[in-house]
Each structure stands twice: as C-alpha cells, then as structure tokens.
Amino acid sequence: MKYDTIIFDLDGTLLNTLDDLMDSLNVALTNRGYEPRTYEEVRSFVGNGVRKLVERALPIHSTEEEIEQCLADFTQHYKLNMQNKTRPYDGIMILLMDLNRFGYKLGIVSNKFDSAVKKLSKEYFGDLIKVAIGESPTVKKKPAPDSIFTAIKELDSDINKTIFVGDSDTDVQTAKNAGIPCVGVTWGFRTREVLRNEGADYIIDTPKELLTII
C-alpha cells in the first residue's frame, strides 16, 4: 500500500458549505449596514479561515473593530445554521466507506474554527473519519503544516505514507509545507487552473478517482 493515511480538507472537498457560509456572512454584513455579497464573491473569499472571509467581504479600509463586530455576528449565526444547506459532495460518502473498508486512516484538517469542524465531521461522517482538526490557538492555520502534523500524530500514522486532499491553492501549499503529496479536487471552490498552477501532484474530477491514485 503506497499510502495508508489520507487527510482531507473540509469545505469544498468533503462538504459543500458555501450556501451556509454565504447566508451567515450576509446576515453579519447586513446587520452592520453593508451590502450582501454574491455566491461567486463568497466562493472567492473562502479558504483561509472565517476571519479572512469576513475581512475580504468588508470594505477595504474597515477598522479592526468593524472586522471583530462582523466576525462575532457571523460566528454566532453560523454556529446555529451551519447545517441548513451543507451537504457532502456526490460520491464522498461512498468513497469514505470504501476507504474504511480497505483499512485507510482518515482525518480532516480545516481553517474553519475547531468546534465547527468537529461538529460537522461527527454529524456527517460519524466514525468514518477519526480525527478532525480546525483553527484554534494551539494549531497554526493552513498553509502552515501544523494541522497536518497534528492529525498524523493523532492517527498514529507515518508522514511518508500520508497524502492530502484539498480543493484550493492554500491546500496545495499546505501539503508542500508538510512535505507530502497533494491531490487537488475540481468540484470545490477553486478551478483546475488554480490547482495546476499551484503545483498539485494530482488533480481529480470525481471522488472515486482518488482510489486510482492511492
């Protein structure tokens, strides 16, 4: 077995979370008197954590206080509404069940806040994925490799037998910083061109294609 551990990004890779993220962001923006953002705008803003999402959505010269207020509104709304429209991408559940049947160790690392990552992982994937790590004061955000190293340790795995799967340029950078191969997926929030230009080792169009790589 070339790899025995597969670590996934969450948003844009396993779960399509964009509608719920957009709804919570636009609630926060309109609460503060700003114009709501479009689906495509929000799609371009995600990938570096919720604070960066809020910063990108606000006017460019927004103050630190304005960012913090909008972030607080977003977080409060999202905690209660993160599962309204969020769903696994087509083929993901079958892939995860197959990987479990074949004995692979599976984990999630995400720039979403840690409590949300753990909740969504448990709600949608149950025991199929054993480790889920999000943004917290103790683990640096992607593209820092810390979350991958933490997941590998918690899974009792070997970095030399680990591969990372994600949908964004940040994910490719994270894998490179960790020194492991990256599989870029085209069904998420970034384009094939972005993944190719960033240097993804593999690019797949459907979840089942991952089985041909590992």
The residues annotated with a catalytic role in the active site are 9
| Residue 105 to residue 102: CA distance in whole angstroms | 9
Q: Are 69 and 76 in contact (CB under 8 A)?
A: no
Give the amino acid at 146.
D
Sheet containing 5-8: order of strands = 131-135, 105-113, 5-8, 162-166, 182-185, 202-204
CA-to-CA distance for 15 and 11, rounded, in angstroms? 5
What lies within 8 Å, CB to CB, of 188 at 6+ separation is: 9, 11, 12, 13, 89, 166, 167, 168
Decide: 96 and 59 in contact? Cβ < 8 Å. Answer: no
